[in-house]
């Protein structure tokens, strides 16, 4: 037996359908409207049938269409940006005796390593000159005011010896990337290296990092 549906009943029906759709591995819902304005919603073993007026049917179809678009688009919005393996070139660098940073893998949303890109760098760091330090993946701006927020993903604590690291940065300004060791007490840099594309490193080939070795 068919039952006349009102707006409140319909949204209750659609709400049930939507809740089932949001469950993991849920069977896709099927909402069928026939020529005689007959509504049938089936999802995950749940079936509900109602008849409705043509005016309400039009409203239903518009909202169902919008709901379908949102459900299809949501996974795409949640997908993280695709990263590509990129070849990097080392630039100016300076270390204290026994300290070194090695890049073993670099991935980015583009090979240009420029403003707007997300970059993930993996590697190894050996610390010998002190008991502990902070290793950071940062950007030296070539244009801008020099101020920039640092995300948690850009820094890691390292202790004396050899260990692996993985750091991530989203480039917000024009500039060049560098991996640098900082003293945990003074916050001053005492070793590190610039890296990027061949063209970027050529532009900063004359940068002097001797201040890394100043007394702290």
Q: Write down which residue in 78, 109, 138 finishes a domain.
A: 78
The answer to whether residues 89 and 41 belong to one domain is no
143 neighbors 175 (Cβ within 8 angstroms): yes
The CA distance from 16 to 181, in Å, is 55
Domain of residue 209, CATH code: 2.60.40
User: Is residue 16 helix, strand or coil?
Assistant: helix
Same structural domain, 134 and 189: yes
Q: Residues 128, 209: one domain?
A: yes
Tell me the C-alpha distance between 184 and 87, whole Å: 31
43 and 120: one domain?
no
130-182 pLDDT, tens digit per residue, is 999 999 999 999 988 888 889 999 999 999 999 999 999 999 999 999 999 99
pLDDT for residue 33 is more than 80:
no
Residue 166: other Cβ atoms inside 10 A: 13
H/E segment holding residue 91: strand 89-94
Are both 139 and 89 inside the same structural domain? Answer: yes
In a domain, 1, yes or no: no
Residue 152 φ then ψ, to 5°: -60, -35
Task: Confirm whether 71 is domain-assigned.
Answer: yes
| Tens-digit pLDDT profile for residues 81-121 | 799 999 999 999 999 999 999 999 999 999 999 999 999 99
Let me know whether 71 and 88 are in one domain. Answer: no
User: Which range, of 67-76, 100-109, 126-135, 196-205, averages the lowest pLDDT?
Assistant: 67-76
- pTM equals 0.65
Same domain (yes/no): 55, 125: no
72 and 168 assigned to the same domain: no
Among residues 78, 110, 128, the one where a domain terminates is 78
- What is the dihedral angle through the alpha carbons of 6, 11, 17, 20, rounded to the nearest 10 degrees? -140
Looking at the fold, whether 58 and 151 belong to one and the same domain comes out as no
64 and 92 together in one domain: no
Final residue belonging to a domain, choices 35, 62, 78: 78
Shared-domain flag, residues 125 and 61:
no
Cα–Cα separations (whole angstroms), residue 74 to 26, 30, 55: 15, 19, 29
Read off φ and ψ for residue 96, nearest 5 degrees.
-80, 160
| Residue 164 confidence (pLDDT) | 98
Q: Count how many domains the chain has.
A: 2
Structural domain boundaries, residue 164: 84-213
At a CB cut-off of 8 Å and minimum separation 6, what does 181 contact? 99, 101, 125, 127, 133, 134, 135, 158, 189, 190, 191, 192
């Amino acid at each position: 037996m068919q039952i006349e549906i009102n707006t409140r009943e319909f949204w209750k029906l659609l709400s049930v359908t939507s809740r089932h759709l949001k469950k993991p591995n849920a069977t896709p819902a099927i909402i069928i409207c026939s020529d005689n304005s007959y509504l049938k919603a089936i999802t995950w073993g749940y079936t509900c049938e109602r008849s409705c007026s043509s005016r309400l049917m039009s409203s239903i179809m518009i909202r169902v269409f919008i709901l379908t678009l949102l459900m299809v688009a949501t996974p795409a919005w949640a997908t993280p940006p695709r990263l590509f393996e990129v070849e990097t070139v080392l630039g100016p660098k300076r270390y204290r005796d026994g300290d070194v940073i090695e890049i073993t893998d670099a991935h980015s949303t583009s090979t240009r390593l420029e403003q707007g890109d997300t970059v993930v760098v993996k590697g190894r760091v050996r610390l010998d000159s002190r008991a502990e330090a902070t290793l950071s993946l940062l950007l030296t701006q070539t244009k801008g005011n020099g101020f920039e927020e640092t995300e948690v993903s850009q820094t890691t604590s390292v202790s004396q010896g050899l260990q692996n690291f993985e750091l991530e940065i989203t480039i917000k300004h024009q500039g060049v990337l560098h991996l640098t060791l900082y003293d945990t007490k003074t916050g001053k840099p005492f070793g590190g290296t610039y890296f990027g594309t061949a063209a970027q490193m050529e532009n900063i080939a004359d940068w002097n990092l001797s201040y890394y070795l100043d007394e702290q």
